[in-house]
Amino acid sequence: MVYKISRSFFLLLMLVYASFGYALEEEKEQTLQEEITEYIYHHVQDSHDFSLFSTKDKYTGEKKYYGFPLPVILIDDGVKFFMSSKLDHGKKVVESSGKYYKLYHGKIYETDSEGYISYDENGKVTNARPLDLSITKSVFSILLVSILMFYLFRSLARSYNDNNQIAKGVGRFFEPIVIYIRDEIAIPSIGEEKHKKYMSFLLTLFFFIWFLNLLGLSPLGVNATGNIAVTFGLALVTFLITNLTANKTYWKHIFWMPGVPVWLKPLLAPIELLGVFIKPFSLMIRLYANILAGHIVLYSLIGLIFIFKNLVGSSLSLVLVFFISIIEVLVALLQAYIFTLLSALYFGFAVQEDDH
């Protein structure tokens, strides 16, 4: 009888232990998934420093970041300037000219010496935010690509002058691309006579987007074109050039369409006018969504390697990451091509004549 009770108690104890162990494992797995989600979210968002990678102390659990800081520029009763390393990824409060600032969820808020963050009844932060003109990771990458483009194409232009109109060096790689954009995008879309005044912008647009997309696939992990503020700026420039250089034929087709019954023109005019704003909006969303989705998919597949923790699952995830990375290289070029082609088409609509 005692043996049966002891055995039953032992089995019950083992069952409780197994259940408790399973619960701990499930909690650990959930924590790992949350950590992967945090890494993905941190990657796709802009930041005030350039973190290449991070490690976690196995004893304290504290994260240690490796990278370099960027300048923080705040407009709040004057100009406040300091390096982002003082914020320590939101762990420290920075004092500047008698005011205190703290980094919280990627944004800088004005706070007190203790770093207190207050919320309203909806859970939104109520702390005041200064005007942030900092050199963030996206801004840094844009400046880097701009300098690179200036150097490359200045060298290409010099090679024409110094080598009897023949490109040399790295210019031999870029020259066919420039010619392709001129002959296959600009001239067919805009026309032989009027394409030249748009060529400089189209070339800048194509290489700027392409280089930023490729930089986002590098180990630096920059997600500039996956930032809707960047794509908004590009689409806005296309919108302004289209409408500021448009001729009277373009506006006539919007407000008083030829070949349409008179009673129908007032009904179609608001729709056509709405299309003027929908076109750049589609440019903005298309580039933003494709690049952002690509980064999320890649990081999610990498995260599966740590979730599976076995040879089969991790190997499969690694193979998928490899093939998706190759596809993303093609997408980086394709999205630059599509943005440039559609911009050229909009310019062509703006300068077309009645006889076309």
Interatomic CA distance for residues 229 and 138, integer angstroms = 10
CB 130 within 8 A of CB 122: no
Domain locations along the chain: 49-132, 137-351
Supply the pLDDT for residue 61: 65
C-alpha dist (Å) from residue 181 to 39, 114, 159, 175, 342: 38, 56, 20, 10, 12
Could you give the angle at the alpha carbon of 175 between the alpha carbons of 174 and 180, nearest 5°? Answer: 100
Rg (the chain; Cα; Å):
28
Q: Three-state secondary structure along the chain?
A: CHHHHHHHHHHHHHHHHHHHHHHHHHHHHHHHHHHHHHHHHHHHCCCCEEEEEEEECCCCCCEEEEEEECEEEEECCCEEEEEHHHCHHHCCCEEECCEEEEEECCEEEEECCCCCCCECCCCCECCCCCEECCCCHHHHHHHHHHHHHHHHHHHHHHHHHHCCCCCCCCHHHHHHHHHHHHHHHHHHHHCCCCCHHHHHHHHHHHHHHHHHHHHHCCCCCCCCCCCHHHHHHHHHHHHHHHHHCCCHHHHHHHHCCCCCCHHHHHHHHHHHHHHHHHHHHHHHHHHHHHHHHHHHHHHHHHHHHHHHCCHHHHHHHHHHHHHHHHHHHHHHHHHHHHHHHHHHHHHHHHHCCCCC
Interatomic CA distance for residues 337 and 186, integer angstroms = 12
Supply the pLDDT for residue 230: 92
Interatomic CA distance for residues 322 and 305, integer angstroms = 13
- What is the distance of C-alpha 312 from the center of its chain? 32
Determine how many CB atoms are found less than 10 A away from the CB of residue 116: 12
* Segment 172-198, tens digit of pLDDT: 888 889 999 999 999 999 988 889 999
Supply the pLDDT for residue 50: 79
Supply the pLDDT for residue 6: 41
Interatomic CA distance for residues 281 and 327, integer angstroms = 25
Whether the pTM exceeds 0.95: the reply is no
- Reading phi first (left if > 0) and then psi (alpha if -120 to 50, else beta), residue 149 is in alpha
Q: Which regions in the chain score pLDDT beneath 70?
A: 1-30, 32, 57-61, 354-356
Indicate the Cα dihedral angle 258, 262, 268, 269, nearest 10°.
70
Long-range contacts at 12-18 (CB < 8 A, ≥ 24 apart): none
Supply the pLDDT for residue 354: 66
